[in-house]
Amino acid sequence: MSLCPVCEQGSLAGFRLVKTQRYLRCPVCEATVMDEPCRLSPDQERDIYQLHDNDPSDPGYRKFLSKLAGPLLERLPPGATGLDFGCGPGPALARMLEAEGMVVSLYDPYFYPSQTALSRTYDFITCTEVVEHLYEPAEVFRQLDQLLKPGGWLGVMTCFQTDDDRFDNWHYRRDPTHVVFYRESTLAILADKFGWSMAIPRKDVVLFRRGSQTGH
């Protein structure tokens, strides 16, 4: 039995077998995790990510990103500095936030791999359509926590997992690069784990906030 990579408290147990893909469930945080042997190779993943067409000028894509950008901008002071973590090949969200006066750095393990952006702290971090791809979510959330200034915001967008009966045919599950799915209760446990407050301003969008006291 392996430890849940999200809450690091529960032991993963069998949840579903969909064709050849096996999924496990954490009894503590209710995260659903693809069984390790079912994962794609890094090369296969990279090939799929390169097909993602995240065109910054596409109005449909901008509207999609505004689900996070809108609620986040309402909470940020003018000129706040941020990091778009896992921005992908076309940094559309960063461009949108910059147009509103924010200063945005980029990091993506495949497309913007420079570690420089990970060596300072930020007023906010955005993480859109990223967390469902992580093999070690808790490790990454821990890193993001440390990249936030006290009182800083972490805005995450991912499709929340809801109805187990629809899991097998869920479009989000069918993307073979999606290896972990979060329920609202999973996110609440993550918030607890790191001492963040949490708000869900829109469907599939969560805003975490680091405590305002300094130190960890």
Interface residue list for Zn ion (CB under 5 A): 4, 6-7, 10, 26, 28-29, 31, 129, 132
Please say whether the beta carbons of 173 and 18 come within 8 A: yes
Q: Which is nearer to Zn ion, 108 or 132 (CB)?
A: 132
Name residue 181's beta-bridge partners: 32
Q: Which is nearer to Zn ion, 149 or 183 (CB)?
A: 183
In the structure encoding, which two tokens stand for residue 144, read together? 């993001």
Give the nearest distance from C-beta 204 to Zn ion in angstroms.
Answer: 11
Which distant-in-sequence residues (6+ apart) come within 8 Å of 160 by Cβ?
A: 182, 183, 184, 187, 203, 204
Q: How far is the CB of 79 from Zn ion (least distance, A)?
A: 30
Q: How far is the CB of 153 from Zn ion (least distance, A)?
A: 21
Q: What share of the chain is helix, strand, coil (3-state, %, to 5)?
A: 35, 25, 40
Which residue lies nearer to Zn ion by CB, 29 or 117?
Answer: 29
For Zn ion, the closer of residues 88 and 152 by Cβ is 88
SS3 of 16, please?
Answer: strand
Residue 121 or 185 with smaller CB distance to Zn ion: 185
Q: How far is the CB of 49 from Zn ion (least distance, A)?
A: 9
Report in angstroms how near the CB of residue 211 gets to Zn ion at its nearest.
22
User: What residues contact residue 56 under an 8 Å CB cut-off, 6+ apart?
Assistant: 62, 90, 91, 92, 95, 96
